[in-house]
Amino acid sequence: MAYLIGVVSFVVALLASVVLHEAGHFLTAKRFGMKATQFFVGFGPTLWSTRRGETEYGVKAIPAGGFVRIVGYTPLEEIDPADEERAFYRQPAGQRAVVITAGVVMNFVIAFILLVGLAMTLGERHTGTPTTSIDTVTTCVPASITASCKPGDPKSPAAEAGLRAGDKIVSLGGTPVSTWDDLRNAIKSHKAGAPVSIAVQRGGRTIQYQVTPVAVDGSTFIGISSKVVGAGYVRDGPVDAVGYAVSTIGKAVRGIGTVLADLPRAIPKLFSPDRGNTAGGQVGSVVGAGEVSGQIFTADVNWKDKLDLFLQLVISVNIFLGALNVLPLLPLDGGHLAIVCYERIRVRINKLRGRADPGTVDLTKLLPITYLVFVILVGLGLLLILADVFNPLTLPQ
């Protein structure tokens, strides 16, 4: 039941984000006197609709997005002569740019408000400092770093050696370690399959063990996790909360850039056990995000951690949608904005040369590129959905 609540909660949050994104386009278009004939959530067959004034509002069967239909959004549309003056493409460039970007701005505003509210109420999450004390000993050697133990998996080197939770590691291979980074670097410096001595403090005594590391996903693995101290939530004041929100959004946008750049390399691994080992492999579909939300609600953590993780998921989805739509590719918002900017630059150049306004861009020449981008986006979306169904990502333990 908790898993189902998590999935439903994410779907509701996603639809709310879509409604607000489209509301950005809709409200600014109405503000400038443009004619918007439809405002729908979802795609496909109409489940419900109602008309208010000149606009039809409704819900469609496939909850995978939404749309606002603005008359004359491109010059290719057939327009009733009575609506010609209110057509989108006939309006000043500044107004068109505002309408185009309003949806993206709304996604970032949602993320900003949620981050500020989160920092001022629940608090900014501090992950704490990992130590050389052992929190848990992994019982097996998993198939991958993100995989769980299965029957038949061999014992982990730490479990085989007899290490226990609560042991404080003081040296490895004769090298003293005082921080988790020291210990991690010492582990990495030893080859898999070669025994190494490890000294731990337990009950006031120092005990020596022999551990034989193994290789998992190309990294040296012994099977321990660090005890973390200082973890918790600290509430921020308004100024610090705003700084936290801006910083978090900036980091997320940079991370999205890294993820998108790595995605082509990660596609061949979408159905392999090491899918999540690269930045691009961590990209998921709406289905995958719903699965992660369900995992959050069933995770063995306190309610604060669940709320924080869920809201961070919703925030990250809004930032991703906003950043993706900025790309200067049709049919994305960024593509339409690029056309408006190109038209204005062309007008300026022609004016300087004493020539007449050349008018709107001939979109028929851009249709092949538009169709190609659309096919790539849809194809990638379907591929990610299949990967999330047959090889889903899981929350780190």
What's 209's domain CATH number? 2.30.42.10
* Helices 238-266 and 303-326, axial angle in degrees (round to 10): 60
In the DSSP assignment, the letter for residue 190 is S
List of residues 6+ apart from 203 with CB closer than 8 A = none
The residue among 172, 202, 230 that closes a domain is: 230
Whether 45 is in a domain gets the answer no
- Residue 219 sits at φ, ψ, to 5 deg, of -115, 155
Q: What's the domain range around 215?
A: 129-230
Confirm whether 22 is a catalytic residue.
yes
Instruction: For residue 56, tell me if it sits in a domain.
Output: no
How far apart, in Å, are the Cα atoms of 41 and each of 8, 15, 19, 187, 352? 16, 7, 7, 52, 45
**DSSP states of 121-165:** TT-EEE--EEEEEEEEE-SB--SSTTPPP-TTPPBPHHHHHT--T
- Residues 273, 291: Cα–Cα separation, whole Å: 17
Is 249 in the same domain as 324?
yes
Alpha-carbon distance 317 to 286, whole Å?
Answer: 9
Same domain, 219 and 292: no
Q: Are residue 235 and residue 209 in the same domain, yes or no?
A: no
Whether 58 is covered by a domain: the verdict is: no
This prediction's pTM: 0.79
Q: Tokens 């063990």, residue?
A: 209
Instruction: Give the pLDDT of the chain (397 residues) as one tens digit per residue.
Output: 888 999 999 989 998 999 999 999 999 999 999 999 999 988 889 999 999 999 999 999 887 778 999 999 988 888 898 999 999 999 999 999 999 999 999 999 999 999 999 999 999 888 888 999 999 999 999 888 777 888 888 999 999 999 999 999 999 999 999 999 999 999 988 888 999 999 999 988 999 999 999 998 888 999 999 998 888 888 999 999 999 999 999 999 998 888 888 888 888 888 887 787 777 888 888 888 999 999 999 988 889 889 999 999 999 999 999 999 999 999 899 999 999 999 999 989 988 888 887 878 888 888 899 999 999 998 998 999 998 888 887 766 5
Q: Which two tokens stand for residue 339?
A: 């056309």
Domain endpoint, select from 195, 230, 265: 230
Secondary structure letter of residue 166 according to DSSP: T
Phi, psi of 133, deg, nearest 5: -80, 140
**Are 219 and 291 members of one domain?**
no
Tell whether 238 and 119 lie within a shared domain.
yes
- The answer as to whether 295 is a domain residue is yes
Q: Buried b / exposed e across 108-125, counting CB within 10 Å, b at 16+?
A: bebbbebbbebbbebbbb
Question: Do 239 and 331 lie in a common domain?
Answer: yes
Question: Do residues 247 and 369 both lie within one domain?
Answer: yes
Same-domain check for residues 108 and 224: no
Q: Is the peptide bond before 331 cis (omega within 30 degrees of 0)?
A: yes
Q: How many domains are contained in the chain?
A: 2
CA angle (263, 266, 272) in 5-degree steps: 145
If asked whether residues 341 and 381 sit together in one domain, one would say yes
Report pLDDT for 240: 94
DSSP element (H, E) containing 226? strand 224-229
Q: What angle do CA 262, 264, 265 make, to 5 degrees?
A: 65
Specify the pLDDT at position 302. 87
Whether residues 258 and 308 share a domain: the answer is yes
Asked whether residue 54 is assigned to any structural domain, the reply reads: no
Could you say which of 22, 124, 291, 343 is catalytic? 22
Based on the number of CB atoms within 10 Å of its own CB, is 137 exposed (0-12), middle (13-18) or buried (19 or more)?
buried
Dihedral angle computed from the Cα positions of residues 250, 253, 259 and 261, in that order, rounded to the nearest 10 degrees: -110
* Cβ neighbour number for residue 290 with a 10 Å cutoff: 21
pLDDT value at residue 113? 97
Domain assignment present for 169: yes
Residue 141 inside a domain? The answer is yes
Does residue 79 form part of some domain? yes
Same domain, 101 and 236: yes
Same domain, 309 and 287: yes
Q: Which residues contact 249 (CB under 8 A, 6 or more apart)?
A: 108, 111, 112, 115, 319
Q: Which residues contact 102 (CB under 8 A, 6 or more apart)?
A: 24, 25, 27, 28
Point out the domain boundary residue: 210, 230, 250: 230
